[in-house]
């Protein structure tokens, strides 16, 4: 154990003293996610400020009751309105411009649909400019609701009731979960369930890359031959490599998760923004509380640990066929693609529609359980963690046996992958 720890310490020093790893594995996710969040927020804020300080231009060709009411409606909602002449439109620096036609009031009074032309100007196509596109429509929709309400009141009707006759509560039964829950809560869960595959995939890619590089670096920098002649059990060497990659991967995952959480916090995840007809921004908070009992946390941690170990083992297997780091990372990236497909499959398709044998094959894949771990947590199917742990242990044994065999044979030195000629062994001496 002492010897193993000494070797693992070597891996950690070698990795964390390498600026390349620090930049791409730790700093990159810590910088890129908050940066994206900041830019997104900046765009969103800019759009918000633009809406808040918006000056709406109106070409009033109607100059009658409806157009006057529309202008008043806008002013009552603290929107600055400027009336302009049609001849001024070309040189006008507007964001939203309404052209109210001559016969707007006449149409309204005679029960015909009037047509309002809305012109919107954006500087370029971006997130912030997208927020502006629908402002005109929303303001008109708000005005329509205002006119309806006024008409109802004139007719002696209960406008508040008629505008909102039914309240609806939607409940969704999820067969796979054996549960029924409110649609709003499910919508909130959906987002979080869809995020999990990406977190798992990020973890898989980073561990694959790191573990593949760990052995191929030994080959590239000519340290492997010395290592293999040292009085160390080859199984210890294989385990040392996996543990080394695991520790580095934990750091990468922590950085990835921290960066992602900052990103999520910056976007106000779990909070849904809706913009209603000229009334401003309404924020609907949807929070979900999940209790994590110690035994469940233990199972989840074990599942995570085993999945990470398997991935480290696969990364090492990949690196057996390569002689340098770049090739190893390239092959690891290629291997991560089918793993990504497997991980995303569970989020993209309805698994209950698959035939039994396909479901069995799917659930024999180790990554499935970590990917669905959040879902299992929500619905309390903790027995699936146990199943996942068993499946992961079986795969881990297979990977470790293959890896130990490879480490014990001279093929660890001579195997090489060639994209032109296929897999072959080459004489290296």
Partner 1 sequence: MEAVKVENLVKKYGNFVAVNGISFRVEEGMIYGLIGPNGAGKSTTLRIIATLLKPTSGRVSVFGYDVVGEADKVRRIISYLPEEAGAYKHLTGYEYLELMAKIYAGDGYREYVERGVELAGLGGRIYSKIGEYSKGMLRRLLLARALMTLPKLAILDEPTSGMDVVYATEIRRMIKRINGEGVTILLSSHNMLEVEYLCDEIGIISNGRLIAEGSPQELKERYGGENLEEVFTNLVRGV
Q: Could you give the 3-state DSSP secondary structure of residue 54?
A: coil
Near partner 1 by CB under 8 A, which window of 30-38, 73-81, 175-183, 223-231?
A: 223-231
Residue from the set 1, 3, 80, 370 that interacts with partner 1 by CB under 8 A: 3
Q: Does 223 bind partner 1 (CB under 8 A)?
A: yes
Q: Does 283 bind partner 1 (CB under 8 A)?
A: no
Binding map of partner 1 across residues 8-47, x = CB under 8 A, - = no contact: --x--xxx-xx-----------------------------
Q: Single out the residue of 24, 98, 25 nearest to residue 67, CA to CA.
A: 98
Q: Minimal distance in Å, beta carbon 409 to partner 1?
A: 8
Q: Minimal distance in Å, beta carbon 10 to partner 1?
A: 5
Q: Are 278 and 172 in contact (CB under 8 A)?
A: no
Q: Minimal distance in Å, beta carbon 421 to partner 1?
A: 13
Decide whether 136 or 244 has the Cβ nearer to partner 1.
244
Near partner 1 by CB under 8 A, which window of 121-129, 166-174, 195-203, 216-224?
A: 216-224
Q: Single out the residue of 16, 13, 10, 20 nearest to residue 326, CA to CA.
A: 20
Q: Are 16 and 244 in contact (CB under 8 A)?
A: no
Q: Are 237 and 9 in contact (CB under 8 A)?
A: no
> How many residues belong to the site for partner 1 (CB under 8 A)?
28
Residue from the set 6, 150, 160, 383 that interacts with partner 1 by CB under 8 A: 6
Please give the structure tokens belonging to residue 407: 């480490």
Residue from the set 121, 359, 405, 425 that interacts with partner 1 by CB under 8 A: 425
Near partner 1 by CB under 8 A, which window of 177-185, 217-225, 256-264, 348-356?
A: 217-225
* 169/182 Cα distance (integer angstroms): 7
Near partner 1 by CB under 8 A, which window of 189-197, 218-226, 260-268, 296-304?
A: 218-226
Q: Are 320 and 410 in contact (CB under 8 A)?
A: no
Near partner 1 by CB under 8 A, which window of 3-11, 61-69, 320-328, 358-366?
A: 3-11
Q: Minimal distance in Å, beta carbon 228 to partner 1?
A: 6
Decide whether 124 or 229 has the Cβ nearer to partner 1.
229
Residue from the set 113, 222, 293, 420 that interacts with partner 1 by CB under 8 A: 222
Q: Minimal distance in Å, beta carbon 229 to partner 1?
A: 4
3-state helix, strand, coil in the chain (%, to 5): 65, 10, 20
Q: Does 421 bind partner 1 (CB under 8 A)?
A: no
Q: Specify the DSSP class assigned to residue 293.
A: -
* 313/245 Cα distance (integer angstroms): 9
Query: The tokens 């439109």 sit on which residue?
Result: 89
β-pairing, 280-285 with 415-418? Answer: unpaired
Burial 175-199 (b: 16+ CB within 10 A, else e): eebeeeeeeeebebbeebbeebbbb
**423 DSSP β-pair partners:** 417
Q: Single out the residue of 159, 170, 256, 241 nearest to residue 205, CA to CA.
A: 256
Angle, CA 153 vertex, CA 150 and CA 157 arms, to 5°? 135
Q: Minimal distance in Å, beta carbon 220 to partner 1?
A: 8
Decide whether 6 or 117 has the Cβ nearer to partner 1.
6
Residue from the set 30, 61, 195, 228 that interacts with partner 1 by CB under 8 A: 228
Decide whether 12 or 172 has the Cβ nearer to partner 1.
12
Please give the structure tokens belonging to residue 237: 């060497």
Q: Minimal distance in Å, beta carbon 427 to partner 1?
A: 4
* Furthest CA-CA distance within the chain: 99
Near partner 1 by CB under 8 A, which window of 62-70, 202-210, 367-375, 406-414?
A: 406-414
Decide whether 126 or 409 has the Cβ nearer to partner 1.
409
Q: Minimal distance in Å, beta carbon 4 to partner 1?
A: 11
Residue from the set 38, 194, 221, 273 that interacts with partner 1 by CB under 8 A: 221
Q: Find how far residue 81's CA is from the centre of its chain.
A: 41
Please give the structure tokens belonging to residue 183: 């649609």
Q: Does 91 bind partner 1 (CB under 8 A)?
A: no
Please give the structure tokens belonging to residue 174: 């999820």
Please give the structure tokens belonging to residue 224: 């492997």
* 99/107 Cα distance (integer angstroms): 15
Q: Does 405 bind partner 1 (CB under 8 A)?
A: no
Decide whether 2 or 289 has the Cβ nearer to partner 1.
2
* 7/107 Cα distance (integer angstroms): 85
Binding site residues, partner 1, CB under 8 A: 2-3, 6-7, 10, 13-15, 17-18, 221-223, 225-226, 228-233, 409-410, 413-414, 425, 427, 429
């Amino acid at each position: 154990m002492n010897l193993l720890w000494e070797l693992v310490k070597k891996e950690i020093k070698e990795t964390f003293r390498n600026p390349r790893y620090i930049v791409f594995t730790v700093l990159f996710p810590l910088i890129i996610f908050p940066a994206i969040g900041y830019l997104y927020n900046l765009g969103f804020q800019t759009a918000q400020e633009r809406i808040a300080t918006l000056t709406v231009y109106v070409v009033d060709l109607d100059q009658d009751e409806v157009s006057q009411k529309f202008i008043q409606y806008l002013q009552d909602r603290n929107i600055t309105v400027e009336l302009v002449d049609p001849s001024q439109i070309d040189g006008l620096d507007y964001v939203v411009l309404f052209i109210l036609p001559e016969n707007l009031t006449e149409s309204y009074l005679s029960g015909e649909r009037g047509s309002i032309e809305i012109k919107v100007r954006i500087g370029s196509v971006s997130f912030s400019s997208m927020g502006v596109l629908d402002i005109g429509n929303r303001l008109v929709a708000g005005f329509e609701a205002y006119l309806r309400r006024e008409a109802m009141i004139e007719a002696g009707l209960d406008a508040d009731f008629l505008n909102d006759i039914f309240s609806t509560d939607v409940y969704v039964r999820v067969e796979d979960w054996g549960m029924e829950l409110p649609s709003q809560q499910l919508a909130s869960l959906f987002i979080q369930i869809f995020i999990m595959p990406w977190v798992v995939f990020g973890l898989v890619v980073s561990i694959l890359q790191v573990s593949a590089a760990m052995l191929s670096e030994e080959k590239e920098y000519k340290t492997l031959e010395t290592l293999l002649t040292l009085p160390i059990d080859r199984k210890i060497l294989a385990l040392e490599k996996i543990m080394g990659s695991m520790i580095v991967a934990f750091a990468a995952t922590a950085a990835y998760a921290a960066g992602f959480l900052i990103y999520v916090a910056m976007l106000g995840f779990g909070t849904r923004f809706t913009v209603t007809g000229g009334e401003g921004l309404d924020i609907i908070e949807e929070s979900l509380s999940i209790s994590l009992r110690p035994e469940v946390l233990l199972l989840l941690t074990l599942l995570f640990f085993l999945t990470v170990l398997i991935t480290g083992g696969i990364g090492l297997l990949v690196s057996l066929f390569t002689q340098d780091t770049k090739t190893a990372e390239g092959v690891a990236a290629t291997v991560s693609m089918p793993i990504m497909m497997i991980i995303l499959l569970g989020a993209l398709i309805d698994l209950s529609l698959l035939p039994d044998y396909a479901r069995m094959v799917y659930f024999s894949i180790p990554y499935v359980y970590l990917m669905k771990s959040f879902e299992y947590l929500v619905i309390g199917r903790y027995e699936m963690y146990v199943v996942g742990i068993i499946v992961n242990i079986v795969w881990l044994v297979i990977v470790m046996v293959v890896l130990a065999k490879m480490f014990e044979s001279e093929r660890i030195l001579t195997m090489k992958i060639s994209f032109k000629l296929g897999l072959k062994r080459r004489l290296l001496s």
